[in-house]
């Protein structure tokens, strides 16, 4: 099958666009707030840099050499038991589960662009009331914007790799960097910056529970888009002679930088204006609008830009979450791209409505299972369980199943003397660390 090719910069921006998403700007700050700051950040950083980077190269290799959809690449590259390895491709289904809540949150962001343009809430209490009213009682607004998110994502994916995904990223990613970078620079001039820095980098280990450990590792996978075939699928569209090592370094660096900049900026604003960091998923929707209101005129401009940047980050990631399944339907079942995009879009749209309803007061009881509602289960299951599991499968596949010469031929030249270091961490460090995560997980889930 012929797969369209990215241009070199197109690939880097698309992969970075996939990585830099709601995970960086919405999730990372509130998770850091909820899990006590520094220690959480440190576990996340160590995982991203040491394990995430190693797994990213592995995932790229599978796509780059396999040149097929998720399942097909595993099948092609496995030296034996091909029909069994094909099931590695099942990991693309994780994307469907992620999209159920991802699209809903992009919807909230659309709504907040309008709030920022019209009337920002004046106090944190006001902002909380506004957010809760939307979340728990305003099904219509959420549904309307969730629909909009579904339409935009489906439309872009249906236009394909070149004129849909690559073009979107070429335009939105530079704008996103400028907005986040500019707002961060402004934050560094404020007094609250010192406090924000201390909160994010002074590790208080007593605050790190086994659940926050699992979440930090899950966050590293989530934010780097690893473990579900997004990077794999994009890499199948790489040019023939590509430097995977260099691309991975840039992507991990950009993703980590944006998370840290967004976190520092957000906490600076919160400290400066006396709001609370430990607010949960409402953080950027509750504290931040009130803080922007306090800033006056400049705050209004910031608010609009911030939510636009957040929407950009969300959209460029969403297309990469959907694309693996679309590619799968096209290459396996001969679907046209439009039809494939629509089918996948409809599924996440409809299941997304369940996620949306599970936050509302009317339906929450019905849609809560054990400790979490449907929305939170999707988030937890995908980020903390399925993505690390997918990462483990890829690490084992490239580290043990594929022939070493073949792996070396793809990246050895670019790694130079570090090839063995990477190969070692892929074979021993990443699997062991991910195994420890799975053990911790069982403790949390009380299996
Ligand atoms: N990395 C994206 C984010 O940080 C989410 C994502 C997960 C994208 C998995 C693709 C695959 O928001």
The full set of domains in the chain, from first to last, is: 8-441 (1.10.4160)
pLDDT of 438 reads 84
pLDDT of 71 reads 93
Which parts of the chain have pLDDT scores under 50? none
DSSP for 360-402? STTTTTTTEETTEEHHHHHHHIIIIIIHHHHHHHHHHIIIIIS
Q: How far does residue 219's CA lie from ligand 1's centre (Å)?
A: 9
Helix/strand/coil for 80: coil
Q: Which atom of ligand 1 is nearest to the CA of 317?
A: 8
Best residue for ligand 1 mutational test, from 21, 105, 385 (most atoms within 8 Å of Cβ): 21
For 189, other C-beta atoms within 10 Å of its C-beta total 8
| Residue with token string 């924000």 | 196
Q: Which atom of ligand 1 is nearest to the CA of 223?
A: 4
Structure tokens, 251: 């992507």
- Residue 316 Cβ inside 6 Å of ligand 1? The answer reads no
pLDDT of 343 reads 98
Q: How far does residue 407's CA lie from ligand 1's centre (Å)?
A: 26
Q: How far does residue 430's CA lie from ligand 1's centre (Å)?
A: 20
> pTM for the full model?
0.94
Q: Which atom of ligand 1 is nearest to the CA of 320?
A: 10
Contacting residues for 131 by C-beta, under 8 A, at least 6 apart:
282, 285, 286
- Residue 22 Cβ inside 6 Å of ligand 1? The answer reads yes
Structure tokens, 330: 């096209």
Best residue for ligand 1 mutational test, from 93, 230, 311 (most atoms within 8 Å of Cβ): 230
Q: How far does residue 223's CA lie from ligand 1's centre (Å)?
A: 5
- Residue 358 Cβ inside 6 Å of ligand 1? The answer reads no
- Residue 32 Cβ inside 6 Å of ligand 1? The answer reads no
The whole-angstrom separation of Cα 447 and Cα 442 is 5
The whole-angstrom separation of Cα 48 and Cα 53 is 6
pLDDT of 1 reads 54
pLDDT of 85 reads 93
pLDDT of 447 reads 57
Q: Is the separation of the CB atoms in 268 and 193 below 8 Å?
A: yes
- Give the model confidence (pLDDT) of 270-284 as tens digits: 898 887 776 788 889
* CA end-to-end distance (rounded Å), the chain: 43
């Amino acid at each position: 099958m012929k797969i369209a090719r990215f241009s070199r910069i197109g690939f880097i921006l698309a992969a970075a666009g996939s990585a830099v998403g709601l995970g960086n700007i919405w999730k990372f700050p509130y998770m850091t707030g909820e899990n006590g700051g520094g220690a959480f950040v440190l576990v996340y950083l160590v995982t991203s840099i040491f394990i995430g980077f190693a797994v990213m190269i592995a995932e790229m290799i599978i796509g780059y050499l396999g040149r097929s959809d998720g399942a097909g690449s595993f099948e092609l590259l496995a030296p034996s038991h091909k029909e069994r390895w094909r099931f590695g491709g099942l990991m693309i289904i994780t994307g469907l589960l992620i999209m159920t809540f991802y699209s809903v949150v992009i919807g909230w962001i659309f709504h907040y662009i309008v709030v920022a343009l019209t009337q920002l809430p004046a106090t944190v209490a006001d902002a909380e009331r506004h957010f809760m009213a939307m979340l728990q009682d305003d099904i219509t607004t959420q549904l309307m914007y969730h629909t909009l998110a579904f339409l935009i994502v489906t439309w872009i994916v249906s236009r394909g790799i070149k004129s849909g995904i690559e073009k979107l990223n070429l335009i939105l990613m530079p704008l996103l960097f400028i907005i986040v970078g500019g707002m961060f620079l402004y934050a560094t001039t404020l007094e609250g910056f010192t406090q924000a820095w201390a909160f994010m980098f002074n590790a208080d280990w007593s605050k790190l529970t086994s659940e926050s450990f699992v979440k930090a590792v899950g966050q590293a996978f989530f934010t780097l888009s690893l473990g579900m075939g997004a990077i794999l699928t994009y890499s199948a569209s790489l040019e023939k002679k590509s430097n995977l090592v260099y691309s991975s370094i840039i992507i991990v660096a950009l993703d980590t930088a944006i998370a840290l900049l967004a976190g520092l900026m957000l906490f600076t604003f919160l400290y400066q204006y006396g709001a609370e960091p430990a607010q949960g998923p409402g953080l950027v929707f509750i504290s931040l609008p009130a803080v922007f209101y306090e800033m006056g005129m400049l705050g209004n401009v910031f608010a609009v830009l911030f939510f636009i940047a957040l929407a950009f980050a969300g959209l460029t990631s969403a297309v990469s979450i959907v694309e693996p399944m679309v590619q799968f339907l096209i290459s396996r079942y001969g679907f046209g791209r439009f039809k494939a995009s629509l089918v996948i879009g409809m599924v996440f749209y409809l299941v997304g409505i369940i996620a949306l309803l599970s936050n509302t007061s009317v339906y929450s009881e019905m849609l809560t299972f054990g400790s979490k509602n449907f929305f939170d289960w999707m988030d937890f299951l995908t980020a903390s369980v399925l993505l690390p599991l997918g990462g483990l499968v890829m690490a084992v596949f490239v580290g043990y199943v594929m022939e070493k010469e073949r792996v070396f031929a793809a990246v050895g030249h670019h790694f130079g003397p570090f090839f063995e270091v990477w190969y070692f961490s892929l074979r021993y460090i990443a699997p062991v660390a991910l195994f420890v995560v799975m053990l911790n997980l069982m403790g949390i889930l009380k299996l």
